[in-house]
Structures are given as C-alpha cells and as structure tokens.
C-alpha cells in the first residue's frame, strides 16, 4: 500500500490508526513539531499496550524545538531519543508491531503537522511476519540508529 496526503489514506490517518493498535511503536523522523504531537498524542493515550511509544529524532533545535523536547519529557507514554551533537538523523520510518506481525511506513513524511497532513508526501507501507528477513533487516537498522542516540527521558533515581 502507498500513502499520500492527497488521498483518503493520509499519513496522519494511517500512523494514528497503527499507533493505537500496536504493542510496539517506534517513530523515527528528522523533524518533529508540536502540531504533530497535538495530532498523535490522543492515539498514544488510547493504546492498550504497556510499552511506551519510542520517538527517534534529529538532535538539532531547528528540527526539534526545546518546547517539543520538554513536552515529550513530560509525557509518561513516550520515550524520546535524539541524535547526538555532530550526527544527523534523516530517516523517516514508522514501525509498529503486534504479536507476530509488523507494519512499517517508510517514505518522505516527517512527524510534523505539515508532513502528516498537508505536504505532498509519499510513503510505502510494508507489513509481514516478524520471522521474515525483511523484518530482521528493519529491526537491525532501527537498533543501530537507537544505539547512536541520546535519551531525552527523565532520569530515574
């Protein structure tokens, strides 16, 4: 399946639906803004999963403002990780899994209000079984990205 913000299957509709249904959710983006958080947080809250939604983002303040970082830090349902100084995260991968199945949206849309609903964006949706080679390659890539990121989560004492 393909997503375009010019059709009934917009990025916002599909990402919101998958956030709510997933047991595991990783949202990997370069840009992240308050408008996108306003759009997706209600779906994050509706999740029945005990696991937190993980968001990976670029670390530069022009891409993720201090206001966004503070809001993410205060949301108990979200863990935020961002690229360390000198690194740049430009991938846009939205990963969701439940049971033995997974779905991923891979394309051009950032996690911004414009990227989710107004810009001319295009992405492919892939899905399958977690035992597939494609799933393992995707997980290996997301694990590699996460290992290079810094946590924005509150410190637990």
Sheet holding 101-107, edge to edge: 2-4, 122-129, 101-107, 93-98, 24-28, 53-57, 78-83, 149-151
The pTM (predicted TM-score) of the whole model is 0.94
Confidence band for 157, pLDDT divided at 50, 70 and 90: very low
Per-residue model confidence (pLDDT) at position 149? 92
Superfamily of domain 2-151: Endonuclease Chain A (3.30.870.10)
Cβ neighbors of 15 (< 8 A, separation 6 or more) are 27, 40, 94, 105, 116
Spatial separation of the C-alpha atoms in residues 61 and 64, rounded to whole Å: 5
pLDDT digits (tens, 9 = 90+) for 16-61: 999 999 999 999 999 999 999 999 999 999 998 889 999 999 999 9
In the chain, where the domains are located: 2-151
Query: Residue 9: pLDDT above 90?
Result: no
Q: What is the mean pLDDT of residues 131-156?
A: 90
Query: Residue 70: pLDDT above 90?
Result: yes
Q: Please, what is the average pLDDT of the chain?
A: 93
């Amino acid at each position: 399946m393909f997503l375009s913000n010019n059709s009934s299957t917009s990025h916002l509709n599909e990402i919101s639906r998958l956030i709510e249904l997933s047991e595991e959710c990783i949202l990997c983006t370069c840009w992240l803004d308050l408008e996108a958080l306003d759009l997706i947080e209600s779906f994050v809250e509706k999740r029945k999963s005990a696991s937190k939604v993980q968001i990976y983002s670029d670390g530069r303040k022009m891409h993720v403002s201090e206001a966004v970082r503070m809001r993410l830090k205060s949301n108990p349902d979200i863990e935020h990780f961002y690229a360390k100084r000198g690194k740049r995260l430009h991938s846009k991968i939205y990963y969701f899994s439940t049971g033995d199945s997974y779905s991923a949206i891979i394309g051009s849309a950032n996690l911004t209000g414009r990227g989710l609903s107004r810009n001319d964006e295009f992405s492919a949706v892939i899905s399958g079984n977690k035992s597939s080679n494609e799933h393992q390659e995707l997980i290996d890539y997301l694990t590699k990205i996460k290992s290079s990121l810094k946590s924005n989560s509150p410190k637990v004492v």
